[in-house]
Structure 1
Amino acid sequence: MNNKIIGFILLILSFSSGWMWMDYQTALHNPALLDKTVTIEIEKGDSINRIIDKLVAEQLAIKPFWFKVIAFQLNVLKKLKTGEYELTSGLTVPQILALFAQGKTKQHIITFPEGWSFKEILREIEKNPNLEHTLSGADFGCLMAKFKSDVKSPEGLFFPDTYYFEKHTSDVSLLKRAYDKMQQVLQREWGSKAEGLPFKTPYEALTLASIVEKETGAVSERPLIAGVFIRRLEQNMLLQTDPTVIYGMGESYQGDIKAKDLTTATPYNTYVISGLPPTPISMPGRDALYAVLHPDKGDSLYFVARGDGTHAFSANLKDHEAAVDKFQRNKK
């Protein structure tokens, strides 16, 4: 082989190796996507080739050969975790592989507002397409047994909050998180409660907190309303609170309470039954729990809505009737 041929071959090899090095550097450092965000799901059993196909289908600027080489160099070929990933503009191949290897999956959110009932929670869960749904037709007693709860009714036992979760999380595991958080908050608040309260158990406090939660959205009023109800319990007075009546009416409630509803006996009609209803009627938040365990120490026994979101409080029936005339009857 003459020197010219050898020189030509060396030139080609030099050019090729230089080109490959530049191509590798481009694959290593250039963003794989620009000006957009895409979602990729790695499913159980997906090979590296299948993952690459999914990335290419989303028009990411990756080169399959170099993607595999970089994954090998980073020692993550066998460490890519299943899940849904959100890839944002500017990510490079090493950064994408790091997300996959660390399992930094896309987080979905669901919110349970304060004051919601368990039925409302279930409806929110059922319409969320990112959860795995297993509760259709479930026995709630069995559900609570899964949480090792002594209470059969799920009402009030799930903490109202915003929860983040991965796609395909089961509805039961999400509820377990909300249940555990309510137990933690309730036990913490119970441990620092004021002395002399008429509660035998934290569950009783939770029940009253659920009523306070439904009575007012004004945080500053919750200790006042809690104080009214606690004094009524202490004096063996009926609680006479409309939210419990509404809860007891169930599907028959159509937006207003009639006179006969106040005299119709249900386990939740506090115009008829003495003491607390058998279960909470909603999910109370931390403020409502704190209020019933640190109630106002005044002498009010009555309150009436002013019509602006706040209430007028009275210590005797005469003053209460005057307040009702002022804020309710005279407005009709």
Structure 2
Amino acid sequence: MLKRIVVVLLLLLGLSAGGAWMALSPYQAANLPVEFTIQPNQGLSDIAHTLEDSGAIRHAGLFMLWAKLSGNAGRLKAGDYRINQAMSMPGVMDKLVRGETSLQSVIIREGWTLRQFRAELDRHPALRHDTRDWSEAELLAKLKLDARHGEGLFFPDTYMFLRGSSDILVLRQAAQNMRRELERAWAARGPDLPYASPYEALIMASLIEKETGQAADRPMIARVFVNRLKLGMRLQTDPSVIYGLGEAFDGNLTRAHLQTDTPYNTYTRAGLPPSPIALPGRAALHAALHPADGGALYFVARGDGSSQFSLTLEEHNRAVRRYILGKKD
């Protein structure tokens, strides 16, 4: 390889000292970082001009000559590339030969539903949308997930992938990550919790995720729900009712909704809902398995994102009058 480089240098020097300087000196592009895409089966001329047009190199013709003389013309790999600092032409070529491609990313938010997760994947222009028309049952079967519901089985995070990757790769990684996170959290769970299985803890974590306005409140919200489960009280959590309404929910939760029985109506049914209602994050999982201490049985939103917790119904009613109805005792 060294001999080949020496030969190329001598040839370039023979052509012109200026050509050698253009090839070997780092090229400071006008706007860094420089990003470009090399398509599969793209020819050397097209690659060279893509690099020049993007600002990665000074001269397409010189790059073509260098590629041919160095034996790299057929070794340049397709993919998305990113150059963050000034690079010489040999440096750029070496990057393409090694296939040091940049990765695309998709962000899956805590508290999203599986439907929102899949919609985000469907919108991503760098993904191949292989699962777009699959039913939830088909998706679970393809991922070999032994579950009736896919909700909650995918970990919200930022996922990296190469352009053109199948969306099922992101889904599979998210499912694997949630399994690991849940196993780790369950193994380190606190004592005296009312869950019969890790899946029940996952359901609880999803309720906590959707009820939390401020991160600091998660352990106390968990404590309220745990206390209620232990006493046989209904959880009475609005996000679960809303989830049960599905696409019929128009953004306005009414008294009629609270009184309409569905498997997810925690006002009409005791215990946990039959599945998670969202994708819980790591903090919600931790809160579900490590609730705060205390005997609180109620909470209400203060209007600033935080919650007011109460031990008794009388205290809770006062909090509702103050924070919801705007009345002072």
Q: TM-score range by the shorter chain?
A: 0.7 to 0.9
* Aligned partner letter, 1:233: L
* Aligned partner letter, 1:25: A
Q: Does 1:139 pair with 2:108?
A: no
The corresponding residue for 1:234 is 230
Higher deviation after alignment, 93-102 or 35-44: 35-44
Q: Does 1:119 pair with 2:115?
A: yes
Query: 1: distance between equivalents of 2:61 and 2:12?
Result: 18
Does the aligned pair in 1 maintain the 2:298–2:316 contact within 8 Å? yes
The 3-state SS of whatever aligns with 1:84 is strand
Higher deviation after alignment, 61-70 or 26-35: 61-70
Deviations 1:47-91 (CA, angstroms, capped at 9, x unpaired)? 434422433454642353554435754x64554322111345622
Query: 2: distance between equivalents of 1:315 and 1:134?
Result: 51
| 2:272 aligns with one of 271, 276, 297 | 276
The root-mean-square deviation of aligned C-alpha atoms, in Å, is 2.4
Deviations 1:91-123 (CA, angstroms, capped at 9, x unpaired)? 221111122122221222221121111121122
Does the aligned pair in 2 maintain the 1:305–1:312 contact within 8 Å? yes
The corresponding residue for 2:4 is none
| 2:243 aligns with one of 247, 267, 272 | 247
Does the aligned pair in 2 maintain the 1:32–1:91 contact within 8 Å? yes
1:274 CA drift (Å): 1.4
Does the aligned pair in 2 maintain the 1:48–1:68 contact within 8 Å? no
117 and 331 in structure 1: CA distance in 2 versus 1, 3 angstrom threshold: farther
The correspondence of residues 1-332 of structure 1 with structure 2, limited to 5 A, is 19-20=14-15, 22-32=17-27, 34-37=29-32, 38-58=34-54, 60-64=57-61, 67-69=64-66, 73=70, 76-88=72-84, 90-331=86-327
Query: 2: distance between equivalents of 1:138 and 1:89?
Result: 43
118 and 112 in structure 1: CA distance in 2 versus 1, 3 angstrom threshold: same
* Aligned partner letter, 2:252: D
Does the aligned pair in 2 maintain the 1:156–1:206 contact within 8 Å? yes
Query: 2: distance between equivalents of 1:217 and 1:72?
Result: 62
Deviations 1:119-167 (CA, angstroms, capped at 9, x unpaired)? 2112222222111112222121121222221113221122112222221
Does the aligned pair in 2 maintain the 1:27–1:66 contact within 8 Å? no
> What's the % identity of the aligned pairs?
37
The 3-state SS of whatever aligns with 1:304 is strand
Deviations 1:255-302 (CA, angstroms, capped at 9, x unpaired)? 221111111011110001111111111111111100010011211111
Query: 2: distance between equivalents of 1:70 and 1:76?
Result: 5
Query: 2: distance between equivalents of 1:84 and 1:290?
Result: 37
The 3-state SS of whatever aligns with 2:59 is coil
Does the aligned pair in 2 maintain the 1:36–1:89 contact within 8 Å? no
Does the aligned pair in 1 maintain the 2:13–2:19 contact within 8 Å? no
The 3-state SS of whatever aligns with 1:95 is helix
Does the aligned pair in 1 maintain the 2:81–2:101 contact within 8 Å? yes
Query: 1: distance between equivalents of 2:254 and 2:64?
Result: 70
18 and 131 in structure 1: CA distance in 2 versus 1, 3 angstrom threshold: closer
* Structure possessing the higher radius of gyration over alpha carbons: 1
The corresponding residue for 1:3 is none
Query: 1: distance between equivalents of 2:247 and 2:207?
Result: 19
The 3-state SS of whatever aligns with 1:81 is coil
* Aligned partner letter, 1:29: L
Query: 1: distance between equivalents of 2:75 and 2:198?
Result: 46
Query: 2: distance between equivalents of 1:290 and 1:252?
Result: 32
Query: 2: distance between equivalents of 1:193 and 1:215?
Result: 21
1:18 CA drift (Å): 5.5
Unaligned runs of 5+ in 1: 1-15
